[in-house]
Amino acid sequence: MISPDTKSATARKTRAPLLTLRRREAMEAWLFLSPTVIGFVVFFLGPLIAVFGYSLTEWNLLTQRATWVGLENYTDALGNNPDFWPVLSNSLIFAVGLVPMNMALALCLALSLSRPAFGNVFFRVVFFAPVVTSAVAWAIVWKFLLQGEAGAVNQMLATVGIDGPNWLREPDWAMFAVIFTRVIKMVGLNMILYIAALQSVPRDYEAAAVLEGASRWQIFKWIIWPLLAPTTLVIMVVTTIGSLKIFDHIFLMTGGGPENGTLVLAFYVYQQAFEFFDVGYASALAVIMFVVILALTLLQVALRNRNAS
Amino acid sequence: MKHTVNLAALTLSAAFILPGVAANAQDLRVTVWTGSDAHLAMLNGIADGFVAENPGTTVTFETIPFSEYTRGLTLQLAGGNPPDVGWLLESDAPTFVSAGVLADIGPALRGDASYDYADFAEPAMGLWVDGEAVYGVPFSTSPFMLYYNATAFAEAGLPTPNELATDGNWTWDSLRSSAATLSDGTNGFWGFEGKDGQGYDSRILHAMMPLIRAYGGDAWTDGQCGFTSAESVAAMEMYHAMIFEDGSVVPPGEIGDFFAGDAAMTINQISRVTRLAEADFDWGIAPLPAGPAGQADVIGQAALVVFEQGENRDLATALIAHMTSSVGVETMAEFFPPARSSVLASDVFTQGNPVIAPEQMMLVRAAIENGIVLPAHQNYPQIFAAMRPRVDALWQADADVSAVMASVCDAIAGDL
């Protein structure tokens, strides 16, 4: 018979350490991750959840009075607000106009500048420079260039006999003008991504195709383009999301005008929150915008996967 | 180790206690929209007098750019970080008063005999008073005046607006005629520019009201939209013709700045005179032209307010009383025309501006005495947002002015 004292001494000897190696590693990992996780929860997840909560209230930013209204903000935006659908339509027109133009131009520039050649680095810098240029400076310069008669763009058009429109003041042209100037500003970023992807395409494939007598177009169509597919998907998703969230460019270039012709959803959310102080309604619109962007992103990924399979 | 613990304790104490000390010291923060060095130097000079009377107090003027002012101020209020005192525009007055975010400073001002609250003209206080409550004191009751480039008029051999006014011929028709003669759009020089070049977007009411009121119309009165009245439509038809038929107004989408010498005339307030300090042309200030309804002066107003959330409301009220005392108003009158009758009537006002001649300050005085403040409304943000895209349609060459004005009224009717 073993005495209780002896049993206790044995248990002390064989007891596992307080922290096993596995637990200690896990704890260290969490400690290292904690700044990011805390930042994510506090600055992203928290506000995101809060926006859902706010969207169910009528909350006036100025008076700080909030009233629970359930889904009323959503039903009003989707069913009763005559501005909502034109605004959503403007956002989609902006995205549909910008994404293909941006991607096509970025690909063309990347194909031209991906190979080592004299002056290519210079031109890459030239096309990338607008990306890092201040949005305010960019807008001011383009507002000068796109003036009615006195603008440089119209004066250049006049030299070839074209009577240019008042770009930022005519509803038919303002959306085109903001899309075009945004494309010129941001195309450099996608160009760099495409250049990186092109430089990772093995040269052997191309050399083999040349030996087989393939034309440049055939090489692009059957070798390069398929290999660029993952990059293209990333660029398309990111550019689409960015274009649907566009705010600063519209704010600075047109303020949503003329005649609300460039009033996009993000700007409309801003207007509701910071001009009308209606945070609850703005939050509901932000949630709708989130759902639209999420749906379009998932659709793009699904279409891409179907094509790939 | 002990040293480390002490250091940590001291740091924690500093973090928690110092804000309390700062609050006890009563640092007053005043939000303003001016970034002008001259304006800020004048304001700090007035505040120095207040600090001398209230030892231990500091006053800091915090500039929020005009275009972001209301939004920035609202976010400070919503974030629980209200300024103690702030400037507030006339267009925001009803919204802020009805929201209950402004403190009633009436009892303190009325209770101070030396302040002489009755010296403020009743019409000037209209927007800032609700019954017995006083929610703000106007520091600027600034009429819209016509600035003109005297050099351009002399070179064209035209009588200046002041000469026309002296002869009783200064009307919107004569302004139109002068603007058309002076305009040379191909060389980037126009006869007339809307207020601060923003008359087609953020300041459409500033651009429209002098004209509409001179024709006998108004924006809205007693909940009724006035843009569709025959007078309002006639006024805007005239302005539309100046832009698109005469080509004499800096058109929408173009940038032409009077103060940079790109336009012969503009309508603005006297606080903008600082921009003419380095002008390479002679200039003058004239009254607004008369219309079919006669002379109709328009006033833009801004007031000093105390915020209900502020921790130092009493001291903040005292600061407003100091700034809008007779002495304070006399000092501010260099840039901000006063609402105090005694200062307005004094030579201090007409002779206090080193840049504007006394006879021209007499014109400013007359405009203040006769002017009507710009339209304001409790739902002003919604009204402005609703009317702006409709008014955009007016700035097209083929616009049907009457139809556009009707669409403006349709859009804002619900908010009126």
What CATH number should be reported for the domain holding residue B307? 3.40.190.10
Higher pLDDT, B304 or A5: B304
Structural domain includes residue B212: yes
Pair (B123, B231) in one structural domain: no
Pair (B70, B84) in one structural domain: yes
Q: How far is B249 from chain A (nearest CA, A)?
A: 13
pLDDT of residue A228: 93
Distance separating alpha carbons of residues B239 and A229, to the nearest angstrom: 56
Task: Give the tens place of pLDDT for each residue, A117-170.
Answer: 888 899 999 999 999 999 999 998 999 899 887 789 999 999 999 988 989 988
Q: Does B49 touch chain A (CB under 8 A)?
A: no
Q: How far is B302 from chain A (nearest CA, A)?
A: 19
Task: Give the tens place of pLDDT for each residue, B355-406.
Answer: 888 888 888 888 888 888 899 898 888 899 899 999 999 999 999 999 999 9
Task: Give the tens place of pLDDT for each residue, A191-219.
Answer: 999 999 999 999 899 899 999 899 999 99
| Strand-pair partners of A272 | none
Structural domain includes residue B62: yes
pLDDT of residue A12: 54
Residues of B in contact with A278 (CB under 8 A): none
Residues of B in contact with A260 (CB under 8 A): 389, 392
Residues of B in contact with A62 (CB under 8 A): 74, 77-78, 95-96, 99, 101
Pair (B131, B270) in one structural domain: no
Pair (B155, B236) in one structural domain: yes
In this structure, are residues B293 and B278 in contact, taking their beta carbons and an 8 Å threshold? no
Higher pLDDT, A306 or B70: B70
In this structure, are residues A168 and A177 in contact, taking their beta carbons and an 8 Å threshold? yes
Residues of A in contact with B256 (CB under 8 A): 150
Which two structure tokens, joined as six digits, stand for A215? 């034309």
Residue B173: pLDDT over 50: yes
Structural domain includes residue B170: yes
- Mean pLDDT computed over A92-111: 96
Strands (E), B73-215: 85-89, 129-130, 133-134, 137-143, 145-149, 190-193
Pair (B115, B150) in one structural domain: no
Q: How far is B395 from chain A (nearest CA, A)?
A: 8
Residue that is last in its domain, among B281, B296, B311: B296
Tell me which chain A residue has its CA closest to the CA of residue B391. A259
From the list A147, A171, A260, which residue is nearest B253 (CB)? A147
pLDDT of residue B254: 84
Pair (B10, B88) in one structural domain: yes
Is B385 within 8 Å of A168 when comparing Cβ atoms? no
Residues of A in contact with B382 (CB under 8 A): 276
- Candidates B380, B392, B415: best to mutate against A (most CBs of A within 10 A) is B392
Residue B16: pLDDT over 80: no
Specify the amino acid at residue A83: D
| DSSP annotation string for A215-252 | -HHHHIIIIIHHHTHHHHHHHHHHHHHHHHT--HHHHH
From the list A169, A271, A277, which residue is nearest B253 (CB)? A169
Pair (B59, B184) in one structural domain: no
Residue A13: pLDDT over 60: no
Q: Which of A16-30, B115-129, B395-409 has the lowest mean pLDDT?
A: A16-30
A242: exposed, middle or buried (C-beta count within 10 Å: 0-12, 13-18, 19+)? middle
Distance separating alpha carbons of residues A262 and A89, to the nearest angstrom: 10
pLDDT of residue B18: 35
Contacts of B91 (CB under 8 A, 6+ apart): B205, B374, B375, B376, B380, B384
Pair (B101, B177) in one structural domain: no
Q: How far is B356 from chain A (nearest CA, A)?
A: 33
pLDDT of residue B17: 36
Domain extent, residue B264, equals 145-219+226-296
Which two structure tokens, joined as six digits, stand for B237? 């038809």
Q: Which residue do the tokens 């009220």 mark?
A: B317
Q: How far is B40 from chain A (nearest CA, A)?
A: 26
| Sheet of B190-193, strand order | B190-193, B263-268, B145-149, B283-286
pLDDT of residue B50: 94
In this structure, are residues B277 and B218 in contact, taking their beta carbons and an 8 Å threshold? no
Structural domain includes residue B385: no
Is A149 within 8 Å of B251 when comparing Cβ atoms? yes
Q: Does B200 touch chain A (CB under 8 A)?
A: yes
Pair (B195, B318) in one structural domain: no
Pair (B235, B193) in one structural domain: yes
Query: Radius of gyration (Cα) for chain B, nearest Å?
Result: 23
Q: Give the number of domains in chain B.
A: 2
pLDDT of residue A304: 80
In this structure, are residues B149 and B265 in contact, taking their beta carbons and an 8 Å threshold? yes
pLDDT tier at B185, thresholds 50, 70, 90: low
Higher pLDDT, B11 or B302: B302
pLDDT of residue B186: 66
Residue that is last in its domain, among B248, B268, B296: B296
Q: How far is B391 from chain A (nearest CA, A)?
A: 8
Tell me which chain A residue has its CA closest to the CA of residue B98. A63
Residue B24: pLDDT over 50: no
**Calculated CA dihedral for residues A240, A242, A248, A254, nearest 10 degrees:** 0
Structural domain includes residue B153: yes
pLDDT of residue A9: 53
pLDDT of residue A62: 87
Size of interface A-B (CB pairs under 8 A): 78
Residue A16: pLDDT over 70: no
Which two structure tokens, joined as six digits, stand for A211? 């030996």
Q: How far is A258 from chain B (nearest CA, A)?
A: 6
State pTM to two decimals. Answer: 0.82
Residues of B in contact with A147 (CB under 8 A): 253-255
Pair (B213, B172) in one structural domain: yes
From the list B99, B101, B201, which residue is nearest A257 (CB)? B201
Q: What DSSP element (H or E) covers B162?
A: helix B161-166
pLDDT of residue A180: 96
Is A149 within 8 Å of B254 when comparing Cβ atoms? yes
Pair (B31, B161) in one structural domain: no
Is A166 within 8 Å of B201 when comparing Cβ atoms? no
In this structure, are residues B206 and B221 in contact, taking their beta carbons and an 8 Å threshold? no
Structural domain includes residue B406: no
Q: Does B170 touch chain A (CB under 8 A)?
A: no
Q: Does B74 touch chain A (CB under 8 A)?
A: yes
pLDDT of residue B349: 87
Strand B58-63 versus strand B27-32 pairing type: parallel
Task: Give the tens place of pLDDT for each residue, A243-300.
Answer: 999 999 999 999 898 999 999 999 999 999 988 889 999 999 999 999 999 998 899 8
pLDDT of residue B271: 78
Q: Does B385 touch chain A (CB under 8 A)?
A: yes
| DSSP annotation string for A89-157 | HHHHHHHHHHHHHHHHHHHHHHHHHSS--TTHHHHHHHHHHHHHS-HHHHHHHHHHHT-SSSSHHHHHH
pLDDT of residue B277: 79
pLDDT of residue A6: 53
Is A167 within 8 Å of B253 when comparing Cβ atoms? yes
Which two structure tokens, joined as six digits, stand for B205? 């009411």
Tell me which chain B residue has its CA closest to the CA of residue A149. B254
When the pLDDT of each residue in chain B is averaged and rounded to a whole number, the result is 88
Q: How far is A98 from chain B (nearest CA, A)?
A: 23
Tell me which chain B residue has its CA closest to the CA of residue A146. B253
Structural domain includes residue B231: yes
pLDDT tier at A106, thresholds 50, 70, 90: very high
- Residue-range domains of chain A with CATH: 80-308 (1.10.3720.10)
Residue that is last in its domain, among B373, B391, B408: B373
pLDDT of residue A268: 95
